[in-house]
Structure 1
Amino acid sequence: MERWFSRITMFWMLFLGEVQSQDWTKCSTGCTCDGNKMSVTCNGLKNVPNDIQKDAKKLNLQFNSLSKLSPTAFHGLKELTYLDLDGNKLQTLPIGVFDQLVNLADLRLNTNQLQTLPAGVFDELKNLETLWIQQNQLKSLPPGVFDHLTKLTILGLGSNQLRSVPDKAFDKLSKLETITLDTNDWDCESCDILYLSQWIRDNGNKVKISNTNMDDPDGVTCQGTMESVNKITKENTFQAGCPTTTQQMATSPASTTTTETMTVREKQTKPRMKIFQEELFSKASIFFCQVIFTQHVSLVVIHILAEIPLLHIVCVVRKP
């Protein structure tokens, strides 16, 4: 009898110890947990619960009513590998909010209201492989925002309001296999588009249609036209008006900045065909005038040419 009682006592001690270690009886308010609490799904929330178990691997917060996140919302969740924030109302991300998610491999931010991304917001996500930020309101990206994501294979930027990306924005993404860029407001009248244009030409097999795995480098089009961004080059867009990179523009000598900037801005506001026509006419008229003066044509001819006002002005003003 004593031996039987001893065994029953030991069984209950082991059972209670297991229950305490696994904490099976508790899950965050508004959330459901799987059998061993490795996966947590929450619904109907306006704030991220502060008592999510520290050993959770997956956290699904999609289709809640989250309009903002605390900078420490996910601190302590170092085991998390999957975080889904799709379908919320987030307008911005606080600096440092993801800094402790050192094992995160999959981050989803689709269908929110994000207008900006803070610099360095993804810097600590060294193991991130998938990043979706589609269907937001991003107008620009901070320089270097993806530089630390050296394991990233999928990047979704489709259906935003992006006009350009920073110079070298994707250069550190050596493992990238899939990127979506369609349905943005790409500004092909700006010199800033040249980096993206060249990058798409060099990496066309990585550019996919959103929500598919089909290659579509030509589907990334300029705002207001069906012209593909990858067809835009320095030669056929601004001729000599654009520097080789946007970085060169920023580091140009101060003495020439004002004049060169004015020239670029003037050209940016004109249609490309008009620029070409004006420059072609200017070169032709100068050549014509040089021929006239070289042959010592009399001023009578010059006055006859006055019937063509622009030629008259060019030739008379340029006459030695």
Structure 2
Amino acid sequence: MERWFSRITMFWMLFLGEVQSQDWTKCSTGCTCDGNKMSVTCNGLKNVPNDIQKDAKKLNLEYNSLSNLPSKAFHHLSKLTYLTLNYNELQTLPPGVFDHLVALGTLNLNNNQLKSLPPGIFDKLTKLTRLDLDRNQLERLPNGVFDKLTNLKELWLRNNQLRSVPDKAFDKLSKLEMIVLTGNDWDCKSCDILYLSQWIRGNGEKIKTSNAGYTDPDGVTCQGTMESVNKITKENTFQAGCPTTTQQMATSPASTTTTETMTVREKQTKPRMKIFQEELFSKASIFFCQVIFTQHVSLVVIHILAEIPLLHIVCVVRKP
């Protein structure tokens, strides 16, 4: 009897807990709730409420005074499809803060003070289609920070302090339709810009301006100039310290073209007089050897005449 009573009590506790989570008449302090749209909007807050309805699908926290986020701030909101944190004072994001938002489609973080992003911060957001990081203070991006966002269609990185992006930063974004990159400090004197330059040249139709409807691959310009990033190539950054041919061969697959290019550059770096002397010696040695073998002079005579073992070797090697 006691066992059945315990089970019934537990059932009612769970039932009442579920009813309470569905009660949209009770909204967090500082927030307004719309049960029909399953949305919550909060204003004038310094902290994220911990009693937001767990079945909420939309959470608007823009125009607050949030300077930091608890690492578990959204862990009970696994049904969220929309989260906006625009116009706050966020300087950092704790690792794992978005890990439970597996249904999230839109994440807006623009107009904050983010200087960096933790590695893997977006890895669990595999359904994300829009990510807005505009108007922050981002100086760099972690390697692979966008790799898991295979459904992303919009990426906003406008008006940050980015000088370059990591190699292959956008390669996994197979569904990307638009990206906004203007207003950054793109350093076109650095070799690190080469990936971005090449990627823009291959994805020009995705490069948008701020109005999102205007395509302008030439509008992403180098810091301090109006030169387009997509015009930068390895050749015009060579003097800025791009890898030498030896380093390039060590980090990329060997090819005939690379070898030939290296040979040409090596020749170009030798003094003209040295090249002339080498060519003259080569021609002279060939001529001398031909005369010797034409006259059927023995190798003994070669030693007597030249008294140089190297000449002996040259003639033997070049013997018809």
Q: TM-score, normalised by structure 1?
A: 0.72
Count residues in correspondence.
252
For residues 21 and 106 of structure 1, the distance between their equivalents in structure 2, rounded to whole angstroms, comes to 23
The answer on whether the counterparts of 2:221 and 2:228 sit within 8 Å (CA) in structure 1 is yes
Greater alpha carbon shift after TM alignment, 196-205 vs 212-221: 212-221
Does 1:227 pair with 2:234?
A: no
For residues 17 and 283 of structure 1, the distance between their equivalents in structure 2, rounded to whole angstroms, comes to 79
Give the residue type in structure 2 aligned to 1:125. L
Q: State the match for 1:212 in structure 2.
A: 212
Q: State the match for 2:172 in structure 1.
A: 172
Does 1:29 pair with 2:29?
A: yes
For residues 186 and 205 of structure 2, the distance between their equivalents in structure 1, rounded to whole angstroms, comes to 20
Give the residue type in structure 1 aligned to 2:53. Q
Closer/same/farther in 2, CA of residues 248 and 93 from structure 1, 3 Å limit: farther
Structure 1 runs (4+) greater than 2 angstroms displaced? 16-22, 239-245, 247-252, 282-296
Query: Which has more radius of gyration?
Result: 2
Map Cα deviations across residues 52-101 of structure 1 (whole Å, 9 max, x no partner). 00000100000100000000000110110000000000001000000000
Does 1:76 pair with 2:76?
A: yes
Residue 158 of structure 1, CA deviation: 0.8
Residue 290 of structure 1, CA deviation: 5.1
Within a 5 Å distance, the mapping from 1:279-290 to structure 2 comes to 283=268, 286-287=271-272
The answer on whether the counterparts of 1:33 and 1:41 sit within 8 Å (CA) in structure 2 is yes
**Residue aligned with 2:32, SS:** strand
For residues 225 and 274 of structure 2, the distance between their equivalents in structure 1, rounded to whole angstroms, comes to 39
Q: State the match for 1:62 in structure 2.
A: 62
For residues 123 and 25 of structure 2, the distance between their equivalents in structure 1, rounded to whole angstroms, comes to 36
Q: State the match for 2:48 in structure 1.
A: 48
Closer/same/farther in 2, CA of residues 42 and 21 from structure 1, 3 Å limit: closer
Greater alpha carbon shift after TM alignment, 63-72 vs 210-219: 210-219
Residue 235 of structure 1, CA deviation: 2.0
Q: State the match for 1:90 in structure 2.
A: 90
Residue 206 of structure 1, CA deviation: 0.2
Unaligned runs of 5+ in 1: 1-15, 253-278, 297-320
The answer on whether the counterparts of 2:25 and 2:33 sit within 8 Å (CA) in structure 1 is no
For residues 274 and 177 of structure 2, the distance between their equivalents in structure 1, rounded to whole angstroms, comes to 57
The answer on whether the counterparts of 1:243 and 1:249 sit within 8 Å (CA) in structure 2 is no
Within a 5 Å distance, the mapping from 1:161-200 to structure 2 comes to 161-200=161-200
Give the residue type in structure 2 aligned to 1:66. L
Q: State the match for 2:112 in structure 1.
A: 112
For residues 35 and 53 of structure 1, the distance between their equivalents in structure 2, rounded to whole angstroms, comes to 10
Greater alpha carbon shift after TM alignment, 16-25 vs 175-184: 16-25
Give the residue type in structure 2 aligned to 1:287. R
Amino-acid identity (%): 71
Closer/same/farther in 2, CA of residues 251 and 30 from structure 1, 3 Å limit: same
The answer on whether the counterparts of 1:153 and 1:176 sit within 8 Å (CA) in structure 2 is yes
Map Cα deviations across residues 139-198 of structure 1 (whole Å, 9 max, x no partner). 000000000000000000010000010000000000000001111001111111110000
**Residue aligned with 1:182, SS:** coil
For residues 124 and 17 of structure 1, the distance between their equivalents in structure 2, rounded to whole angstroms, comes to 28
Q: State the match for 2:142 in structure 1.
A: 142
Question: Cα RMSD (Å) of the superposition?
Answer: 3.2
